[in-house]
Amino acid sequence: MLDNHTVTNHCSIERSLDIVGGKWSFLVIREMMFHDQKRFGEIKRAVPGISAKSLTDTLRHLENKGVIIRTAYATVPTTVEYSLTEKGHALHGIIHEMKKWGTDWA
C-alpha cells in the first residue's frame, strides 16, 4: 500500500511527464535553452530526425502547457519565433542532470 507521500510524488511526476514527457520535448527544450528565441527551421535543423509534423505537434503541446511562447511578427511571410517561458527555463537543472546521467550511464 502506498502512503500519502508516495501518492503525492507519483502525481507530481505524472503531471510533470504530461508537460514534458513527449518523445521530442526535451530535445526541443534543450535547443531553446541557449537562445533567447528560435525559429521553426532553426529548431528543426538542431534536432536530428524530427519531422516537421512532430516538431509542430511538440511546439503546440509545449505552448499549451506554458513551457514556450510563440510570437508571430507581421511580416511577409509571417515570421514566428519561439522562446522559453519562466516555466521552461526552470527545466535547465533537469536538462543538465539528464545530460550528466547520460554521460555517466548511457
pLDDT digits (tens, 9 = 90+) for 33-74: 988 899 999 999 999 999 999 999 999 999 999 999 999 999
Q: How high does pLDDT run on average in the chain? A: 91
Q: What CATH class does 4-105 carry?
A: mainly alpha
Task: State the pTM of this model.
Answer: 0.85
10 Å CB burial of residue 19 (0-12, 13-18, 19+) is: middle
Q: Is 39 helix (H, G, I), strand (E, B) or coil?
A: strand
| pLDDT at position 1 | 46
> 17, 15, 25: which is closest to 63 by C-alpha?
25
> 72, 91, 74, 90: which is closest to 26 by C-alpha?
91
pLDDT above 70 (res 91): yes
pLDDT above 80 (res 27): yes
Provide the percentage of residues in the chain whose pLDDT is more than 70.
Answer: 91
| pLDDT at position 106 | 87
The single residue listed with the C-alpha cell 510563440 is 70
